[in-house]
Structure 1
Amino acid sequence: MTKGDGRNLVLQVDDDPTGWKCFVLRGKSAFTLRTTVDQMKKRAVIFAELKKAKITTFWCKNELRVMLEPPAVPALMGESVALRCAVWGGKAETAIFYKDKLLIANITKDTYIITNATQDHTGQYRCHATYRYSHISAEAALQEGDSEAQELNVIDGPPATTVYSTSPESLECFCRDCPDDCTSYYWYHTLLSDSFVRRRLPENTDIITIKEGGLFNCRIECGKGFSRFSKVYSYEAQSESESVNVLSIMMTVILTVLGVLIVMLIVLMMLKCRKCGGSYQVTDRRTGGDQIQLNSLPHSGREQGQG
């Protein structure tokens, strides 16, 4: 603008513009500006002029200390959504959340989490928080305030896939709501040591064998497009020593169980043989392998002193 000229600046807000204040900085001096508020159009108008300054800065801010932070994009059905009750320059000690002016949660944390979003979760949300600036002063007074209402939209998107383990060394890409004409599987792998590089794996099957640890996710190509990406599955590969230890422990357990079963089988056979009056042979190692035949007697003979 040329010196002495002016312009009308418009502040457009989503809710009530009454709580907003506008300021101007000319050189090193800052001033509060008088605004003209239009409640119907939800906006405020200020007159901006340079006066004698070469550069002039104008800005506006909301005086509310408490604000509700919704997701930056519409939430997808079936996914989790976090609504955070934030405090400028501090942290909420307690928070109460409202949906369409109805109380929905009274919790001690500053975040309300919707675990499985549906169309019923669409609406206007706001929160009421209690807080204190204890980091500034240990004796800071407890304060409270309300946030402005924020709109949450839950929309229906492509179906989501899920990655889960089918064995210690394999993963499966599964999609419950995908159509039957899905043809291609896309697997992606990210190393734990370099989380900024994600590479696509060559496998085009629903089940893959894991060759190294890292972060895995997948999506499926169906008739009219792709599914959503699955959530990341974290896998930590076992070292060779750990694999050997696990194998040796499993073999020890198996041999121990087999040994116990064999001993139990022998004991049962001996008891059965004694009850039926049969005989069994024992090899005497001291006589060079001579066999001695032992005949078991019926119980009635023993009770009468026979033998």
Structure 2
Amino acid sequence: MDMKHTLPILSVFLVFAFGQGKPKVSLFPGFPSHHLYVSDEVTLRCKDGGNVLASGVTWFFKNNPLPTSNATLKFPAVTVDDSGTYQCEHGGQKSEAVEIKVLDMLPQASLSVLNNADTVIGKGGAVLLKLYMEEGLNDWWCRYTEGDQEMWQPIKRDPTQSNSSLIIHADVGEGDGRTYWCMDAKKGLTREERSRSNAIKLTATGKMVRLQMSEKPAWSGDDVTVSCDVWGGPKVDQAVFYKDGREITGIQKVSQNKFTIQNITKSSEGVYHCDATYRFIHISKDAATHSNLPSDQQVLTVIAGPPKPRLDCTQMKCGGPWSSKPDSYLWLYTPEGATDPEKLQESKDQILSGKTGTYTCSAKWTSSGFSRKSNECRFAEQKGTSPLVVVVVVLFLLGLLLLLLALCICKRRTVRKKNIEVGADGGYEEVGKKDPGKEGEYELLKISQEEKDKGQYDTIKGQGKGKGEGEGEYEALKAGEAEGTVYHTLKEKDQGKGEYEALKTAQAEVYHTLKGPGEAEGKGEYEALKTAQAEVYHTLKGPGEAEAEGKGEYETLKTAQTEVYHTLGQGQGAGVVEGQEAKEESPYEELKKEKDSK
């Protein structure tokens, strides 16, 4: 092949070999370009093939040229305003447009430094990072950047631990530092479909004095703590802070080597460093003093940040200026004295706090991410004032009140029913006088409804005239087998001695006594001895021909339920109950007359 044909082929080869073709825009780190989040630190690079161009590059944002000629376009902290299309042009060739979409929220997964460790550490050092994803971390991997390279970081999983969180050992390397982030590496998903975490930047330094910032970049309205630390833990006698090369004066320090920028604003942006004077007195009391040793510089950027919810500490309600309605809410609770928060099960915008500790909330959009955390609300549980306890006490008192009311009503109904059945005077009805001219007799005083059902029968069984003197007998027959039946027996024995005996029933006893006239008294007397719980006792003592022995006796009768016993009086005019007159002569009187006539 002659030189005439070789030169054109060589020129084409050199064009492809050295990238003299169409440039390309790439994103570093390799985040999904449609899933950038507010405060991500990214760089757009204009590449020719696999190499980053050196210079002579024109950048376009939404087709408008930008005032820079660098081959890289750096964003210390992206915002929503940075969303749009980007192109680069080199040697008359313009790249394809790459769209960047910045979400005004936080990623679905969170990556944080464990135990609030420092992010500025000595070269070769390491920290522990914690990755958390509520839906689980199967198929997740982490990546880190070092220089202009990006590598994969394997994750070692502990099968005994929850699948929603992992601990990652993160080295800072020997360079200027590394940036770590994690993403879902499940097969079948495109890069834009993969969920990811936020990024953590670890800065390496070779100096003893180190400037630490609690947030970098910082979000407007947050409090940022700046500290001047010394490796090895010596006693810091003095720390001086600088911003943009000038000493910061008039600040109120939290301690000798620390101060806080409260409610930070854009005016606090700048380049910070510090000088420290310290001694290692924990090694020796006479340790030498190291004076005014400087730290490395740190750039503090302040951006608006995602919308911040407002947590109402009185109502424990989470709200915010959302552009779209959240799908749910995330509640975090930090127990008293603890450092790590716990996720609560509640997902609504309002909760009932019951445990002592600190509460925060965040809004959640399932397919995108989270809002930033709200303000903190501290709740102190007061003994005896828990809403649950109050509700239980109120319900108990209400139930007790209803129970007492029900008992009262039942008691009144029972008393009313009993009064209707047995009368207001305890179960005795007055026996009216039917005919004052005749001998008296005791009529039925009271028959309860129950006794009416059971029935009660009395029988007077007399001896015939031919049976001899004094041989009359009164017997009580049995009314069925029911409980509470009454037996009456009247016997007249030899020598005119009468005896009236009452047998017993199972319950409530009633006793009657009828005292007849003696030889000297000539009058009858009816005495009620005792009534106790519907029990009435009566005793009947009859007259004998000789008063000596007591001779007639009416003994104890018992009934099961308000049983009633009837007693027959003795003698004309003497057997009348007080206030009553008998209509007819009693069978007992008939027997007595029969005896007297003999």
> Normalised by the size of structure 1, how large is the TM-score?
0.49
Higher relative contact order (CA 8 A, sep 6+): 1
Instruction: Name the structure where strand makes up a greater proportion of residues.
Output: 1
Larger Rg: 2
